[in-house]
Amino acid sequence: MIKQLLTHDRYSCRSYSDRIPTAGQIREVLETAHMAPSACNRQPWRLMVIGPDDEEGRQAVAAAYNRPWILSAPYYVIVCGVADEAWVRPFDNKCHVDVDVAILTEHICLAASEAGLATCWVCNFDPAELTSKIEFPQGVDPVVILPTGYPATTDIPEKKRKELDDILI
Ligand SMILES: Cc1cc2nc3c(=O)[nH]c(=O)nc-3n(C[C@H](O)[C@H](O)[C@H](O)COP(=O)(O)O)c2cc1C
């Protein structure tokens, strides 16, 4: 099951269907995904869900990420990091907030895929634009926008990856 999710079902979807998942479905995905591991179990993250009826939120996302396809998604999960809550490696002071946020994000993607939903990691957004339109609590930084919904088509693109032997060192 996990092999199917990793090698096929989870992919970056950039076109979503008009069919809208329920808020309950999104919540169930997040309930599953937030079992993600984190360094020292600090869970230095917050989630904001922007739904289909939140026109202001949707416009804020669209302004921060200027690609028309993003508006086809009915939901956006904004995965945020809280650096002050994250574990810091004592040897070199490396803050692990982005590592933890990445794990949670990918757990959301995988849980969504298992539920028949699609997502796409979006990091290439303008954080200043987003935070000028959406108020985040102090110290809570948006790291990833995850458009989430049913995919517009059932065609799943083939995975393009380096050969395993090319990344083994
Ligand atoms: C950290 C990260 C940031 C990404 N940011 C974007 C983005 O801003 N816009 C986008 O369309 N895709 C983004 N992607 C998706 C990647 O392009 C995609 O994962 C990669 O091409 C592999 O394709 P796949 O996800 O379909 O397997 C991002 C992925 C990751 C992991």
Residue 1 has pLDDT above 90, yes or no: no
Spell out which residues line ligand 1, taking CB within 6 angstroms.
Answer: 11-12, 14, 120-124, 157, 159
- 73 domain-assigned: yes
- CATH number for the domain that contains residue 81: 3.40.109.10
Residues 50, 48: Cα–Cα separation, whole Å: 7
- 80 domain-assigned: yes
Closest by CA to 134, choosing from 123, 121, 145, is 145
- 157 domain-assigned: no
In order of 7, 57, 135, the CA distances from 109 in angstroms are 13, 21, 25
pLDDT per residue as tens digits for the range 76-101: 999 999 999 999 999 999 999 999 99
Range of the domain at 18: 2-152
- 161 domain-assigned: no
- 101 domain-assigned: yes
Number of structural domains the chain divides into: 1
SS3 label, residue 112: helix
Query: How many residues are given for the chain?
Result: 169
Nearest CA to ligand 1 atom 10: 122
**End-to-end CA gap in the chain:** 28
pLDDT per residue as tens digits for the range 115-159: 999 999 999 999 999 999 999 999 999 999 999 999 999 999 999
What's the pLDDT at 167? 98
